[in-house]
Amino acid sequence: MGAVAHSRELIKLGGSATSLTDTAFTAGYFDQSHFIHDFKSVTGFTPGGYLDHVQRRYG
CA–CA dist 53, 44 (Å, integer):
11
CA–CA dist 35, 58 (Å, integer):
23
pLDDT at 36: 97
pLDDT at 16: 85
Place domain 2-58 in its CATH homologous superfamily: Homeodomain-like (1.10.10.60)
Q: How many CA atoms lie within 13 A of 36 on its CB side?
A: 8
Q: Say what the pTM is.
A: 0.90
Which residues in the chain show pLDDT less than 70?
A: none
For residue 12, the tally of other CB atoms under 10 A from its CB is 14
Q: How many CA atoms lie within 13 A of 47 on its CB side?
A: 29
Q: Rounded to the nearest 5 degrees, what angle is found at the Cα of 46, between the Cα atoms of 32 and 59?
A: 115
